[in-house]
Structure 1
Amino acid sequence: RLAALTEQASDAIVVENIDGVVTSWNRAAERLFGWSAGEAIGCHGSDLLLPPAGQAADEALRARVIAGETPEPVESVGLHRHGRPLALSMAVSTILSPDGRVVGVGRLIRDIHAEKEAALSREQFTHRLEIEVGERTAALELARRDLRTVLDALPSMVGYWDRDMRNRFANHAYARWFGVEPSTMPGKHLRDLLGDSLFEMNRPRAEAALRGEPQTFERAVPRPDGSGYRQSLFHYLPDVIDGEVRGFYVLVHEVTEIHEGRRKLADALREIAILLNTVRVHALFSQIDLQGHVIEINDRYCELSGYEREELLAKGFSLLNSGVHPPEFWAEMWRSLRDGKAWRGQICNRAKDGSLFWLDSIFAPIVGADGRVDRYIGIANDITASKNAAADLANERQRLDNILRGTNVGTWDWNIRTGETRFNERWAEMVGYSLADLAPIGSDFWMRNIHPDDLARSAEALKRHFDGELEQYECEIRMRHRDGHWIWVLDRGRVSSRTPDGQPEWMHGTYQDITERHAAYEALRAATRAAEAASAAKSSFLANMSHEIRTPLNAVIGLTGLLENSRLDAEQSGFVRKIQLASRLLMGLINNVLDLAKIEAGETALDVRPFDLHDLIEGLAAVFGSQAQAKGLDFTVSLPPGLPRRLKGDALRLGQVLTNLLGNAIKFTERGSVALIVQSLGSDDPNQLSVRFAVKDTGIGIDPELHESLFQPFAQADVSTTRRYGGTGLGLSIVKHLTDLMGGRSGVTSQPSQGSEFWITLPLQRVSDEGRGGDSPEVLRLLLLEGSPPRRLGWLEPLAAAFGWRADVVDGVAAATQRLQADAGGDGQPHVMLLAGGEALAPLGWQALLNTVAAIDAQRRPATLRVGGPEDDSRSEEARQFDGLLPGPADAAALFNAVDAAVRRCGGDAAKVIQATRLQGAGVLWLSGVRVLVVDDSDINREVAARVLQREGAIATTAAAAVDALELLARSPGDFDIVLMDVQMPGMDGNEATRRMRTELGLTQIPVIALTAGALLAQRQRALDAGMDDFLSKPLDCDVLIRAVRRHVERARQAPLPVCMRTEGEPGSPQSPWPAILGIDESGLRERFGDDLALYRRVLRRLCDEFADLAAGDSVPDVPADRLSCAARMHKLYGSAGLLGAHVVATAAVAAEHALRADVSGAQRGAQAEPAAALDAVRIALKQLLQAAQAWLAEASDSPVEEPPSGCVDPVDPKALNELSSLLRSQDLAALGRCADLGPAL
């Protein structure tokens, strides 16, 4: 029965056990919350009944109930199954067991939504009612205040008097008029206010109003202060309610001004009549009706027009229409008049005799008695004379302007005494401005912008004109244009007025741009000189070329004849050598001629690409340094410290230009020196750099008069030069043409017997070098401080040169201080090292030198490194004054480590030294002892990376799969300093492996560098997001790889990575000549494989073996999974081929990979032919490569090649390694056997 009552209850009843789990849920609960009993029972009650925000309070309520409290029902917000909020009233009580224990909680829940809505509606209604009452009360009060305010503001008197003639209301004007306070007016009797006399005067009017008769009258009322009368208009208006007069309103308006206005109007009308009569007599007067008909016109109008009055009244102003004004003119006039506005304008009329006369006319509307315009009045003045004068003046101005424009001159006016100047717009245009740009302008602008060389000449001409020696001033001068260049102008003028004492006052003149005339004149002079020299030059060239060509040809012909008629003895061998020499000479001459012909034909194209400027200069220095040395000349190269290494331009053409200049300098210099000087000129464009290259010699020199002709084809200083030194005279012409083609300039400075300086300036583009490990570093400069005896530090110079550093030697503290101060104040970022030598330091005053260093700004302060003997103590007080100590003489590794440590200690960038260091050729191991894990699914890539790392002293362990790498890291995480991780691998890729390494293994400190054949920014970002630290593109650049590994290992260790010397027999020294294989680009291979030809041969053979089946050809797989596997294989081929320089195969492979993946994804659904064509391209390219490669491999098969095991190298067993270490420390010979056992892993 209780269950039945529960089910039939209208309120929801929910029973929960002591843990809050629902054990009973009636039908009303189902309807209220949307959960069926089957769904609710077994669930936590608060989760079903309440939103999360209310569950904490509910739990507190349950706890109170269980604790024995009996709280009142609470109102709360429940939650329907579908998320709808419910307004609830909830009573909670305990449920007891038969023995009185609390075994649960019962909830009686009632939906109070309707009650809430009703209560809310009542509250809202009451609130609205209160608001409306308040608003209406406020509005009523506001209206009352507004009415009172308006009435008080009125100048008229407003009042109300009841039937007893007592005041009930009076505005301020009423009180002011009678001089009483407004507050005293209510209740006052009319007699008390007006006085007996005035009351009796107004009483009949008041009594009539009280009888219901309105009263209106005008009366002059005396002012209360006795100052006169005020004319007023009175209204007494009865207040009648239900037929009964309760009182009357009084309205009094002062009409004194109106009364006075009437009088003044009468006077004005009389004056207007007089004025109108005057106008009719002396001006041109007319009246027209609304249709434009003339209804009145005076005699003056008739006299001027020549028409009779009757003619004009009959036909109107159409008789006077001159046709000068367009229809729009008249339409605008009538539009203004019809809008009720006056119109004024100048009208050209035609008189009866055909002559034109101009009138300054005013037409105004006249308003009739009905308030509407009924006619228009016109008044005009004859302005014919002034119009004719203005026209004459305009014609004269136009004529003068036409003359000025025709002559294209600017004009100027100059007040010589005050300096005031006036110019026209053309004058400003000549110098690139507008007058608005120059305002305000004075004579100082002319002084600032005239060419300094022309100022004295102009001043002299002006003085002669002022003194009367010249009738006018005239001078050709140069003025600076706004953009910086100079223009030639012809400046003319004359004094137009003088002061009473005869001094010049105003001067007027013109400017004429004669720049083109000057240029044409100079061009004509040059053409004349060229024409005069053409014949001699032609004859001289033909003679020279005839001699130059005939000599080797005669040698070829003569010596060939001798060879034919003699035996090949020693003499004949000499003849053969001479033939070879003559042939080479002939080839050089012909090459120059052909180069010039090609340039002049416009067939020379630039090959603009990034290049290493320092390498280019060093190559030229190596070639021409030996040539100069052979002639006994000093040869020097000067490169600025801040000049970037990598720039973008045509390195081949630049090298050709500098080769010509250096070759000429050495050829024409018998003694002294030749120098190549490179300077950075900067640029306004942040992406560009202007560089100046100069070749300076102490040779024979050139007469300045011959400089202009030097860069012309076949030109040399004179015939004797050609006879003495030989040559065609084409070299400098080629220099100029190529420099112009590259967007640069060329020139020469020279004097006979004093040497020459030939220079060019070129705009070269800066290179960001993304993908090459950052921007090219600046040259690291070492400042070697020598004492006495000198050259104690000479052993450092070759070591610095091997690192690509620059070593500058200075003698004495004074010279060193001067050099340091110059570097500190420069614009560049000098990374200067100061090295001071041993016991020579003390007498030089090292403390003063260090004080100079300490005074330099911290960001530009050079590191100081003391070079001493092995006995020097780095812990001494003197040594601690320096950033480091280098015992000397030392090897290259010790030098690098000392310099690197000193720069870091000085506060410099940790990567500064390694970035500025050339890695190849220094004889050091850059990664000594670094433990690297190389993860790559390609056997070829693994072996190459491992060998490159091992060559630099690293301990390389390889893994063929990401899973293998994770196992190695999990087993021995402390065995590796860094991980090189291929990104795209079958199964688990590198990104996923890195994520697991960071999260599952917790290896967050080991650096991971991504390796991939793809270089898209999206791929780079995915690798970084996965937890990798850096990104390197395949094929790997050895230098970039070494720098990256060093950078990240040093960052992880928080300490610099020292280098050590490479021992004899270690890889890294050049081997046999590199092979030339069809389909393989040799550039970069030697560096990439570290001169290891055996490694290259193994990698190439492995590629041939692994991918030979692809060259046989195969169709596109039918199954998508097989197509994806084929795409993965194409990706692997792409990376391996790129590593070997087989770019054609690599390009075809990546295209096939993309086609296969797109086909599987549906991006090219139905385009089966595209993957097939891509695979055919791979097959063709790979077949050609394999044929060429296998031919070379067959030739090299006789040479035994060490084949190291492929695949993953097992890591060293830590226990075995510890045993080996113990044997070595105890000098036990058993270490030899243990070392042999561990050899492959080591």
Structure 2
Amino acid sequence: MNYHKLLSRQIKKHLPEELASDPAILRFLLIISDSYTTLERDTELAERAFRISEEQYLSLNTKLKHELEVKRLSLEKLKSAAGFLGSESQNDSDDLLIITQQLLDEIDKRKKSEAALRSSEGLWQFALEGAGDGVWEYNFLNQEVFFSKQYKKMLGYTEEEFKNDTAEWYSRIHPEDLELVNKIDQDYAEGKILSHQREFRLRHKEGHYLWILDRGMVIDFTKDKLPERIVGTHTDITERKLAEQALKINEEKYRGIIANMNLGLIEVDNTELIQYANDSFCNMSGFTQQELLKKKASEVLILNEETKKTILQKNELRRQGISDTYEVSVNHKNGQKRWWLISAAPRFNDNAELVGSIGIHLDITQQKRLELELINAKEQAEASTLAKEMFLANMSHEIRTPMNAILGMSNQLRKTHLDEEQSFFLDTIKGAADNLLVIINDILDLSKIDAGKLSLENIGFEIEPLLLRVIQVMNHKAEEKGIILSNSLNDPGLQEVLIGDPYRINQVLLNLVSNAIKFTPRGSVDLTCRLIKEDAAKQTIEIAVTDTGVGMDQSFKEKLFDNFSQEDASVTRKHGGTGLGMSITKKLVELMNGKIGVDSRKNEGTNISILLELNKGSLNDLPQIDATETDTSILKGKLILVTDDNEINRLLASTILQAYGAEILEAVNGLEAIEKVMNCDPDLILMDIQMPVMDGMEAIKEIRRRLTKKTPAIALTALALKGDNKKCLEAGFDDYLSKPFEETQLLHIVSAWLGKELKKLPISELSITPVTDLPLYDLTQLTTIARGNQDFIDKMKSLFKEQAPASVQELKSAYLKNDYALMARIAHRMKPSVDTLGIVSLKEVLKEIEESAKSEGTSLRMDGLLWNLENTIAKVVSKL
């Protein structure tokens, strides 16, 4: 911009750089520059005045007057501008430079002031926007109004779109709220109030209304002490208002629901006075609303002392802001006893202040009656169940006690010299006793399953030997009927070791195969095992028993697994049995998380299959329980007290123990046992649990109380209730032995507690004999399996003589070919037959051959092991 040279110097000297581009200042400076130019021209004209003509002078004079007038007007404008900027200078000089300098100084001060104001306003607006509130200001005298940027934004406008205009603001107030707004404004104008807080609605730019919380206060007053200026804030409370409205709608809705559901509703204040009671509550209590309102519930209602105490406790919870549900007993106004279920909660106002509580009441009198009836029924059922358990326990005791004598004496009799006929009679007795035990165990198993008291093992087992053992055990029954019992398929993909309960699986399969044989007059029974699916951790297997027997009708198939279920009465007469086997089988399978299925047609045969999902295992998962070889010399000279009210059982235990050199004391009840213990100081006590005069539990407690010496005591129990064994130990017994027991079991437990160190042997090598050398073989197990069937025994011996030498040759051949996998399979295959014939000396031999073969023949003893196996097999074959 080109200014007069004098003015340019002044600008450079006095005008701040930040103001040099201000449009208003630029316009002033142009006027001043023009004035300088005019002044110069005037001076020049004066110098030339004497050199011009009169006519020219007159013309020039007229023009000069015009220019002077322009100058005068410019000066007045400059003075006016300086005055507008607030200059306090009283200089009346017409000097253009002085006036311009004053103007520039005022402009500089004004700019700095405006910058500070803008900074302050920016901080102020920032604080307001951060709080989310809009700010307003109103002047009562000139009716000017100011709305902040955030205020306008709240209503959807930019700062330019919304005028700072009172009429504009009033036009946006909801018509229903105008009266409230005008009333407060009038109160201000009349000096009645100095501040206010109100809620009303303002129309948003988009047409909907916002709920506003308006708060304000007077900050300036007139000379008459009336409000002059008022400031305030607007807060958007739309969400809160909508929530309150929704709450009110819901409250009304739920009041209606409660009324329709016949739920009693009352509201009380903090002093427990009833503020509201619906019709349903009046009906429930028998009192009218007039009788209830403004009264304390605990005083007007007919309550017993316990209920009053409960209500006082609950009122304290409400004061702590806690809701809960509880039951109380009350009396109707007519005196009838009622039961209420109360759901109570604290009640708050809009400011979150506790104003009382609300309670919803449901009459549960009928439910309470049913509940009491159910409790009585449950107690009766529990008493019935307990009676049944006690009956089963007593039945078990009463049957097992003589069974113990029968089986025990049979075993003692077997040790004597018997001819063939006597052996047959003895086997028949033992077979009948075993069958009776099966029936007892079936009943007890069913009872335990139904009571949820049957527990399952979860151990490693080999599935193929388990299946083979089932065939071995049941084969004699099949041979008796002339039918073929086979194990035609064991899936090659089966894991060698699985994790589960081998005892219950064995029980299930024995029952299925036994039934199949029983109901197959001719033909065959086949046992198969297939792999259905597997993953890295589990295998799902299907074990099926298929027969060519009589089959069954569809109607009976549907109730096959019911308790005591048989197709008709003739089945029991012809085949025997209790009808419990299949029921127990199904429940056992389901306990193992398995499934059982039946496919059968009348006169065409039956297929029963079970699906089991079992975890995979390894040889390390097989039970590593140590068994012991009992050195029965420990019994010699030891004094043992045998206490039992059953003479035969005393005789049995005494006979067994005396055979190994023990000295016996006998007692017939607990009281007599205590006397014998105190007088004779036995080395060990054997004591029955159930006896007359004093039972075994009481007797052992008294013995432990009287004696300082810890004499070993073993409980002999025929009880069947779960937990009885634990009770024996808690009473003071050191161990227990269940009846009926085997001779080996009795000798082992007695020898163990008499305190001598026992030689550890691997599992399944438990043998008790006074002879130091093991026998070459022992057919006791085979004889037990045969149950007196000599043809079966002969056939098994014949098969062994044919197959065992051939298996040895296969082993040697595989060894020469370094086919270790085949060696392991052959050794594994031979183990069951060696076990069956009781060739104890070969158990460890076969085990080491198998394990070494799996390690690719790493044993340096393989040659010696094979020679030992071949030599022993040859000796057994020659003796058989």
Q: What range describes the TM-score normalised by the shorter chain of this pair? A: 0.3 to 0.5
So what's the TM-score if we normalise by structure 2? 0.36
More helix by share: 2
